[in-house]
Structure 1
Amino acid sequence: MSSILTGIGWHMVGAAAAASFYAPIEKVKKWSWETTWVVAGIFSWILLPLAVSLLLLPHFLAFYAAIPGHVLALTFLFGCMWGIGNVNYGLTMRYLGMSLGIGVAIGVTLVVGTLIPPIVHGQLLYLLTSRSGRFTIAGILLALVGIAVVSWAGHQKEQRMGIRAEEFNVRKGLILAVLCGIFSSGMSFAIDAAHPMAVAAQHAGVKPLYAALPSYVVIMGGGALINFAYCFFRLAFRKDISLSRDLSEPRRVLLLNGSMAASGGIMWYLQFFFYAWGAANIPMHLSFVNWMLHMSLYVLFGGLVGLALGEWREARGRPVRLLWLGMILIILAANLVGLGTAS
């Protein structure tokens, strides 16, 4: 039981990092979003995964050379799938608004990313018939209700503050949000596909707590390919933004922007660093609960970070009460999953 509680605790740390990573990125001024995202991505998807793996693996190149090609390819392709979902994220916000867009996308990715891996591995009957499986399904359903309540609270806040989607369109927005959620669950599929790499890392002498981290070189490499291609394409062909223009800012601006973007990128990476720690403490036959915990706790900490930063100050009243109700439901959902994994 203590191991499971430890795992949930590390998932909370990772979710807190995920919910906070955009705070320093928002402080970047006089740069296009694309340049900012590329700088953040260099740290989150390239430098940190490589640096951590170089520290962990005694024979870096030999380790990856020994991994079967189909494992590397599947892991990389699922990383690319996550990258497509990430690129689609902005369009979802454009047509549906921030709160509703995030709510639908996260709800879909929570369900798809949590349930598809156990179904693929033939664990559906276990989910439906075992006590822990039923607790997990109940936790998923309660988490979805909590996410819906938090999203509705955010939508009401946006209405009170006069915030509108750029081109509000429910039909387009819902289609894009569902697609975004499905593609974003590629991260869950990639982590599942990379399990043989984690086993190989342990055989190479890496402690179980860190065993999943070398796979991030491949997973995030796939995501980086899609994100960088998208950003550089926009920088090359849009007339209103330019990489050279962004990098021609005064040195003080470059240092401040670079440090803020890098900080955001580091925090983004840390969410999955601690995800690996959390997953290492959850029993292997219940590994599918890790994604549910991460995504639901991400919404929980997103609400807490928003409150801490004063984003709900002008909303007051009913939206804030709904926010707290949704966050309480998510906490209860995490506890249900914890009871299920302990049984």
Structure 2
Amino acid sequence: MISPNPIIGTGLHAIGGISAASCYLPNTKTKKWSWGTFWLAQALFAWIIAPLMIGWLTVPDFWKILLNAPSKPFWMAFLLGAVYGFGGISFGKAIVHIGYSLTYTLAIGISAVVGTILPLIIFGGLGDFFTKPGGDVVLLGMIFSVLGVIICGWAGFKKEKDISKESLNKSGFNMMLGLLLTIVAGVLSGVFNLSLEYGQPIADMAAQNGAGHFEGNSKLIISTAGCFVVNFIWYFIAGVRQQTLQEFLPKKEMTKLTLFKNWMWSALAGTMWCFQFFFYGLGHVKMGSFQFASWVLHMSMLIFFSYIVGVIMKEWKNVTKSTYVILIIGLLILIISFCITSYGSYVGEEMLHTA
């Protein structure tokens, strides 16, 4: 039997957050590839190759479980994963228009709320989760998390005001379009958690078959496959229209070595994206009866580390001191929210097991 430990679960969510927050950095290393070409390549690894490999390596009788999976959970997980696919498209485009940090803050902040509340409403138990032992502390942690996201978002808006108009024009900055894409991405990203929840009966099959902590790896490929189908169709059509599919072929300005490196960077990006949910699955299991808090915890970790990555990428190089202060306050509040959520989950688990 798996022993719940929310503190370890929080640590695993942190590792997943680091992986997800830095998964698009390899794009900066690709050469002579458009964004759509990179996106198609990394999508193949993120949503097909890596989930299949992880499932095959960690889940006993992985292929048999997929073949015998109940129909409704399978197709609901796939279709909701496809809905999330449109969110992935919007997310990638939003980064181009309003930057890395701001996109992550707003999109993942929205996702944290939608992805946590929606499954509780659909599957029931919204009130029960917060009235159980430790539930009030976890709720406080979630409130702090939302507050931290809002303050980080405020810092993001101030950052864009601090940057000169000239540099914004050069970077393709477009606040209105970026915000619209970010809202769409955030809402649809929350749907991905709903997709994973619908696939839980498949994970239960894997657990009964001895998958242990890795039970979530059995359902991940179903959700991500739906996401891949949507992205593949979208970017393939875009590639035909924009004549960018030829970037996959070696030519004078694209040597075989450059092409190989581009594929390797894309493979790294996609694998890092997938590994966030590898660690999410491990952390989710460890959260015990407070698994409903996993999504907001994971998303908050994502925001926290995305800002660290943004600083490393020098996105905050030309901001004012007051903007930096607001950013630091927001990040500190997020750290406090992690501690409160983890503590509340831990205390709740202890009280439930000693009752």
Give TM-score scaled by structure 1 length: 0.91
1:265 to 243, 263, 270: 270
1:158 to 157, 160, 167: 160
The corresponding residue for 1:68 is 70
**1:120-155 deviations in whole A, cap 9, x for unaligned?**
222122145345332233222211221122222223
- How far apart in 2 are the matches of 1:54 and 1:145? 40
**1:69-100 deviations in whole A, cap 9, x for unaligned?**
11100110111121111112245456766554
- Measured after TM superposition, the shift of residue 193 of structure 1 is 1.0
- Measured after TM superposition, the shift of residue 160 of structure 1 is 2.4
Spell out the pairing of 1:175-190 with structure 2 (5 A cutoff). 175-190=180-195
- Measured after TM superposition, the shift of residue 101 of structure 1 is 4.1
CA contact (8 A) 2:21 2:306 kept: yes
The corresponding residue for 1:325 is 329
- How far apart in 1 are the matches of 2:67 and 2:257? 43
Secondary structure at 2:9 match in 1? helix
- Measured after TM superposition, the shift of residue 198 of structure 1 is 1.1
Q: What is the one-letter code of the residue matched to 2:182? A: A
Where has structure 1 moved over 6 Å in runs of 4 or more? none
After superposition, the CA RMSD in angstroms is 2.3
- Measured after TM superposition, the shift of residue 305 of structure 1 is 2.0
Secondary structure at 2:317 match in 1? coil
The corresponding residue for 1:43 is 45
CA contact (8 A) 2:104 2:306 kept: no
Asked if 1:12 is matched to 2:17, the reply is: no
- How far apart in 2 are the matches of 1:230 and 1:65? 28
- Measured after TM superposition, the shift of residue 113 of structure 1 is 0.3
**1:290-314 deviations in whole A, cap 9, x for unaligned?**
0001100101111122233443333
- How far apart in 2 are the matches of 1:35 and 1:75? 27
- Please identify, of 142-151 and 161-170, the stretch whose mean Cα deviation from structure 2 is larger: 161-170
Secondary structure at 1:197 match in 2? helix
Q: Number of residues paired by the alignment?
A: 338
| Distance change >3 Å, CA 309–CA 176, structure 1 → 2 | closer
CA contact (8 A) 2:114 2:191 kept: no
- How far apart in 2 are the matches of 1:141 and 1:110? 11
The corresponding residue for 2:80 is 78
Q: What is the one-letter code of the residue matched to 2:319? A: A
Q: What is the one-letter code of the residue matched to 1:218? A: I
The corresponding residue for 2:282 is 277
Structure 2 unaligned spans of 5+: 349-355
- How far apart in 1 are the matches of 2:114 and 2:343? 22
CA contact (8 A) 1:111 1:140 kept: no
| Distance change >3 Å, CA 90–CA 310, structure 1 → 2 | closer
2:290 to 286, 293, 311: 286
- Please identify, of 125-134 and 141-150, the stretch whose mean Cα deviation from structure 2 is larger: 125-134
CA contact (8 A) 1:30 1:246 kept: no
**1:27-79 deviations in whole A, cap 9, x for unaligned?**
11101111111111111111111112222344343211221111100110111
1:335 to 334, 339, 345: 339
- Please identify, of 11-20 and 50-59, the stretch whose mean Cα deviation from structure 2 is larger: 50-59
- How far apart in 2 are the matches of 1:96 and 1:250? 32
Q: What is the one-letter code of the residue matched to 2:18? A: A
CA contact (8 A) 2:108 2:302 kept: no
Asked if 1:201 is matched to 2:206, the reply is: yes
> Percent of counterpart pairs with the same letter?
29
CA contact (8 A) 2:4 2:286 kept: no
Q: What is the one-letter code of the residue matched to 1:184? A: S
- Measured after TM superposition, the shift of residue 336 of structure 1 is 1.6
| Distance change >3 Å, CA 336–CA 278, structure 1 → 2 | same
CA contact (8 A) 2:81 2:195 kept: yes
The corresponding residue for 2:353 is none
Secondary structure at 1:311 match in 2? coil
Q: What is the one-letter code of the residue matched to 1:115? A: I
The corresponding residue for 1:122 is 124
2:32 to 24, 30, 34: 30
The corresponding residue for 2:219 is 215
1:111 to 103, 110, 113: 113
CA contact (8 A) 1:97 1:164 kept: no
- How far apart in 1 are the matches of 2:310 and 2:103? 16
Q: What is the one-letter code of the residue matched to 2:237? A: F
The corresponding residue for 2:351 is none
Q: What is the one-letter code of the residue matched to 1:61? A: W
CA contact (8 A) 1:44 1:268 kept: yes
| Distance change >3 Å, CA 95–CA 57, structure 1 → 2 | closer
- How far apart in 2 are the matches of 1:242 and 1:100? 28
**1:245-278 deviations in whole A, cap 9, x for unaligned?**
4422111211221111111111111111111111
Q: What is the one-letter code of the residue matched to 1:110? A: A
Secondary structure at 2:134 match in 1? helix
The corresponding residue for 1:242 is 244
Give TM-score scaled by structure 2 length: 0.88
| Distance change >3 Å, CA 98–CA 20, structure 1 → 2 | closer
- How far apart in 1 are the matches of 2:49 and 2:96? 31
- Measured after TM superposition, the shift of residue 178 of structure 1 is 3.0
CA contact (8 A) 1:78 1:222 kept: yes
Secondary structure at 1:314 match in 2? coil
Secondary structure at 1:36 match in 2? helix
